[in-house]
């Protein structure tokens, strides 16, 4: 049993879900817009979650939107926001990696001191040709923040439960998904987020965008959070909306660990090895 559970101390994480409308290929405009939104968040916010490719929209035009991994204006903006407001912030953007000359759909997780870690999207959406432009990530990622273990994922990863399966070698408290998930498949989004929470006995947060992109794809948000038994904590409905909105939630680590301890279903889980 963990020290936290034995002590009875509750470790609460306050999360801001920012469901934004994204201006197509206008990174500076998106960053400025989000700067204004972040100024409205409660001072107690610990973590801010932004959508997938929040600075440009989900695009295959990598030559026009990619930022150098070693000099990314979007990463620098995230670092400035995190330091100024003393929260962690995460979201993905298109990155050019000089080391191997590839483009990556990269999720940055920036800590309040400006340090950062990242996750590269594993499952590329081949239906839209994403695999022709981006290199797939090969490594699962857990970051540790305020004694929370947070697993990072991007959009299409949600459809592949083995990748995010809780195990002794991949153990976390909170599963995060940032997305550009279209309206026409939003039913799957809602159900899969809840399923990931139930099967892994973990909190799950999914942040999606709103609005219509340059390809006439409509996004209605439906950003959501679920607790470790699959109960909905928040559902941000934005049908026909183009307005950026925010939801604030808090999640409790002690409650999660208590439930896992008294209903340890993972003890009966199948063993498997994930081939890279």
Question: Rounded CA gap, 22 and 212, in Å?
Answer: 8
Tokens of 25: 């290929």
Q: Is 52 a catalytic residue?
A: yes
DSSP calls for 89-129:
EEEEEEEEETTTTEEEEEEEEE-TTS-EEEEE-SS--GGGT
- Tokens 């992109």 correspond to 213
Question: Rounded CA gap, 118 and 90, in Å?
Answer: 9
Q: Are the CB atoms for 140 and 151 separated by under 8 Å?
A: yes
Question: Rounded CA gap, 113 and 134, in Å?
Answer: 30
Q: What is the distance in angstroms between the CA of the first residue and the CA of the last residue of the chain?
A: 32
Angle between helix axes 73-85 and 27-38 (nearest 10 degrees) is 10
Tokens of 39: 């100024």
Tokens of 150: 């947070």
Q: How many whole angstroms from its chain centre is CA 76?
A: 18
Sign of CA dihedral 16, 21, 24, 30: negative
Q: Is 90 a catalytic residue?
A: no
> Which residue out of 52, 67, 90, 130 is catalytically annotated?
52
How far, CA to CA in Å, does 236 sit from each of 8, 20, 246?
A: 32, 11, 8
> Which residue out of 94, 121, 130, 141 is catalytically annotated?
121
- Helix and strand tally (H, E) in the chain? 7, 14
Tokens of 109: 């997780």
Catalytic residue positions, numbered: 52, 121, 155
């Amino acid at each position: 049993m963990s020290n936290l559970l034995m002590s009875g101390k509750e470790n609460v994480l306050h999360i801001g879900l920012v469901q934004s409308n994204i201006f197509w290929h206008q990174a500076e405009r998106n960053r400025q817009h989000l700067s204004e939104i972040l100024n409205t968040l409660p001072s107690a916010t610990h973590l801010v979650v932004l959508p997938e490719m929040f600075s440009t929209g989900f695009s295959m035009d990598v030559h026009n939107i990619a930022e150098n991994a070693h000099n990314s204006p979007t990463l620098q903006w995230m670092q400035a926001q995190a330091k100024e407001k003393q929260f962690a912030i995460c979201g993905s953007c298109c990155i050019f990696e000089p080391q191997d000359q590839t483009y990556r759909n990269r999720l940055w997780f920036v800590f309040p001191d400006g340090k950062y870690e990242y996750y590269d999207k594993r499952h590329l959406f081949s239906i839209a040709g994403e695999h022709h432009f981006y290199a797939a990530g090969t490594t699962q990622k857990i970051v540790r923040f305020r004694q929370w273990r947070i697993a990072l994922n991007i959009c299409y990863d949600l459809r592949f439960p083995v990748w995010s399966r809780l195990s002794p070698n991949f153990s976390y408290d909170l599963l995060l998904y940032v997305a550009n998930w279209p309206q026409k498949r939003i039913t799957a989004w809602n159900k899969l987020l809840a399923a990931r929470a139930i099967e892994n006995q973990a909190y799950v947060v999914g942040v999606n965008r709103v609005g219509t992109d340059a390809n006439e794809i409509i996004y209605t948000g439906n950003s959501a959070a679920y607790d470790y038994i699959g109960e909905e904590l928040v559902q941000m409905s934005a049908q026909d909306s183009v307005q950026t909105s925010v939801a604030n939630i808090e999640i409790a680590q002690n409650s999660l660990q208590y439930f896992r301890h008294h209903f340890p279903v993972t003890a009966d889980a199948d063993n498997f090895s994930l081939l890279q």
